[in-house]
Structure 1
Amino acid sequence: MFYRFILYLHIFSVILSIGPFFVLLPFVKKLRTAEQPVLNEHLGLFRFVVRLAKHSGHVLVVTGILLVWMGPWTWKTSWIDMTLLVMISSLFFLARAFSPSIRKFNEPGHNRETLVQRLSRSIWTYIILLLIMLWFMVTKPMFW
């Protein structure tokens, strides 16, 4: 029963890590033309989603560790190793992709179009990284 609860928390944290980034996609287009008060609200949404992804990522890691510890897999399982490799990459990416770009919107003389393109590319890159991890966890492919 406890294992199933941990599994539920793990899956729920995956949803919270991936889902909100899809919500950001329409807002990227609005950043191109938004006036300052609305722009600040949209950027606040971006900050919230990044924070939510970080905190749900903490739950994801803890529950993942518990699932490996309590479950039938070991740390030498190939799909777990590959997931960890992609997860470490996504952590570095998340730390560098969003916050610096969001902060630059408030700097004088910024190129809004460049920042919007950078945010859009970052969203899609992060979604792809998370979907790769999700694929590993769902299909559990054995590479070695």
Structure 2
Amino acid sequence: MEYLLYRTLIYLHVISVVASIGPFFILLPMMKKLRTASDSVLPSYLDTFRFTVQLSKHSGHVLVGTGILLVLLGPWTWSTPWIIMTLVIMFCSLFFLARAFSPTLRKFGEDDADREWLVGKLNRTVWIYLILLLAMLWFMVVKPNLWM
């Protein structure tokens, strides 16, 4: 039974990773459309961005919860190098996510908004966040022994 519980936690952990990272790849081709979208269509693109950020946040809650349980129930300890590095990157990504998307998305609604600059900023933000998430994923999959 314990084995089944641990494997189920791994499954939930992986599903939450997919839900956290995957939607951001959908946003990449939307960047070009954001630049030229009419004022009537623009809100639907911005809603997609907002939904993706919210999905990532909520998936992150599941990710953290299952991660904690996996460490508590599994063979790994909190002092394991790949877990420490994953936590460091995770805390950096939390601070980044908290201020990365919402302020930029709100500026699209301003009358004097420079759409080209805002789309460029969103594009950079998506790529930075993806790199942070993929770095965490790399540590969780590869489990490098960086020290010890």
Long gaps (5+) in structure 2: none
SS in 2 for 1:133: helix
> d(CA) in 2 for partners of 1:44 and 1:5?
33
Q: Does 1:48 align with 2:51?
A: yes
What aligned pairs does 1:1-12 form with structure 2 within 5 A after superposition?
1-12=4-15
TM-score, normalised to structure 2's length?
Answer: 0.96
> d(CA) in 1 for partners of 2:112 and 2:48?
23
Q: Which amino acid aligns with 1:74?
A: T
> d(CA) in 2 for partners of 1:52 and 1:138?
22
Among 98, 109, 119, the residue aligned to 2:122: 119
Give the aligned length. 144
Structure 1 ranges of 4+ moved more than 2 A: none
The Cα RMSD (Å) is: 0.5
Among 56, 64, 72, the residue aligned to 2:67: 64
Q: Does 1:80 align with 2:83?
A: yes
> d(CA) in 1 for partners of 2:72 and 2:40?
48
What aligned pairs does 1:98-137 form with structure 2 within 5 A after superposition?
98-137=101-140
State percent identity of aligned pairs.
Answer: 64
Superposed CA deviations along residues 24-69 of structure 1, whole A, max 9, x for unmatched, are 0111111101011210000000000000000000000000000000
Q: Which residue of 1 aligns with 2:34?
A: 31
TM-score, normalised to structure 1's length?
Answer: 0.99
Q: Which residue of 1 aligns with 2:23?
A: 20
